[in-house]
Amino acid sequence: MLSLLLVLLPGALAQAQLVSPATPANCQVPSWSTDGNQLAWEVNFHDRKVVELYVSPGYPGAAPRRIVPVSRGSSAMTAGFDVAGSETVAHELSWAPAALKRFVYGSSGSTQDYDLYIEGGGPVAAAPGADGTAAWSPDGKWIVFTSARTGQGDLYLIDVAAVEKPPLKLTGDPTASELFAAWSPDSQKIAFVGHTQKGDNLYLIDNVAFPAPRPVTAWEHTQTRPTWSPDGTMIAFFSNHNDINRFDLYVTPVAGTPTLVATDVALNDDGPAWTPDSKHLVYVKKDEANFDPVYAAPVRQPSQARVVATGTVGNGDLDVVKRPDGKVWLAVVAQGLKNDKVRDFKRVYAMVLSGLP
């Protein structure tokens, strides 16, 4: 019996465990907190055009809590005090550094105007015009976000220590929209996507104090979802400039030429997922025959990419973090386990990531 157990346990640990409860809708965009103590995800009710946001401890059986924005009338006194109803969108969560124990997210609230909310508080930097894709700086001092308040989408900066003040405008190209901003680990640089009629390319602000964006890519079609390596030396992103019908995974040094890591990958909503040591990128390979498996590729030797045995099928968005137990964990949305008899909606699974190439 004991030897049988010893054979079974490693396999059990290598298979992802279900962490989200059953819902009649697809889960998407799993996102670990910076310290790995919490896991957030969205539940997308396509039919009702509602997106719900949940946060949980990230372990099987742990009950998640739903995040609902609270809208308080302040100077508009007769608007009074209001709790957002069930028919709202809450999405695009970005975690603050662990010490702050907060996150920022976007929501349509009760007014159907997309604003940013910091957990537990009312709208931040609210103004007519949609706000979204917020990113909290690693040093906790700033939140960068995209806003349509003065145009078609410009980057703005919120001073976390003065949330009551108007945000600072970072970019204002009248011919482009700036979105998907990503902070470098030292909180000095911002990579973002500049969207124009000619296509989407990556840009870099080398110093937030003196924002002067410079292009990182100048390709056709779409280059999107930049994410920084934890050591701050590289930026990974998706691109379909080779083939408009598929997205490939690229990595570029901050000052250098992008190199291809993998082709035909699923577009991860939060951008490519780095391992904490900056050596690997974890992604979903679009391979219907093999149920869209999860891969891990060494950035320096992408040809050595290997399948991560999650035991799940129909994989989608994913995220990677180092948790308090010292292990690297993967969270991935999937339509179920290989042996599941019923696979309907995508759920969130988590597992220890080990045996990387």
The answer to whether 70 contacts another protein (rule: CB under 8 A) is yes
Q: Are 146 and 168 in contact (CB under 8 A)?
A: no
With CB under 8 A as the contact rule, the residue among 26, 110, 152, 278 that binds another protein is: 110
Segment contacting another protein (CB under 8 A): 162-170, 190-198, 207-215, 252-260?
A: 162-170
SS3 of 242-292 = CCCCCCEEEEEECCCCCEEEECCECCCCCCCEECCCCCEEEEEECCHHHCC
Segment contacting another protein (CB under 8 A): 121-129, 217-225, 228-236, 266-274?
A: 121-129
Q: State the Cα angle at 236 between 220 and 230, rounded to 5°.
A: 160
* Binding residues among 232-261 for another protein as defined by CB under 8 A: none
With CB under 8 A as the contact rule, the residue among 58, 69, 123, 194 that binds another protein is: 123
Which long-range contacts does 164-172 make (Cβ < 8 Å, 24+ apart)? 166/125, 167/125, 170/144, 170/205, 170/208, 170/211, 171/211, 171/213
Segment contacting another protein (CB under 8 A): 56-64, 66-74, 284-292, 305-313?
A: 66-74
Nearer to another protein among residue 111 and residue 263 (C-beta): 111
> Strand, coil or helix: what is 180?
strand
CB of 86 to another protein, least distance (A): 10
The answer to whether 73 contacts another protein (rule: CB under 8 A) is yes
Q: Are 75 and 113 in contact (CB under 8 A)?
A: no
Closest alpha carbon to 230 in 270, 271, 193, 275: 275
The answer to whether 128 contacts another protein (rule: CB under 8 A) is no
* Binding residues among 19-38 for another protein as defined by CB under 8 A: none
Neighbouring CB atoms inside 10 A of 336's CB total 20
User: What gap in Å lies between CA 353 and CA 357, rounded to an integer?
Assistant: 11
CB of 52 to another protein, least distance (A): 17
Segment contacting another protein (CB under 8 A): 57-65, 80-88, 340-348, 349-357?
A: 80-88
User: What gap in Å lies between CA 266 and CA 273, rounded to an integer?
Assistant: 12
Nearer to another protein among residue 128 and residue 326 (C-beta): 128
Segment contacting another protein (CB under 8 A): 22-30, 77-85, 295-303, 308-316?
A: 77-85
CB of 177 to another protein, least distance (A): 25
The answer to whether 296 contacts another protein (rule: CB under 8 A) is no
**Strand partners for 195:** 177, 200
Nearer to another protein among residue 39 and residue 125 (C-beta): 125
With CB under 8 A as the contact rule, the residue among 4, 63, 75, 214 that binds another protein is: 75
User: What gap in Å lies between CA 126 and CA 164, rounded to an integer?
Assistant: 10
CB of 296 to another protein, least distance (A): 36
User: What gap in Å lies between CA 235 and CA 250, rounded to an integer?
Assistant: 8
**HSE-CB for 98 with a 13 A CA cutoff:** 12
The answer to whether 161 contacts another protein (rule: CB under 8 A) is yes
> What is the contact surface with another protein in residues (CB under 8 A)?
70, 72-75, 77-85, 100, 102, 110, 118-126, 160-164
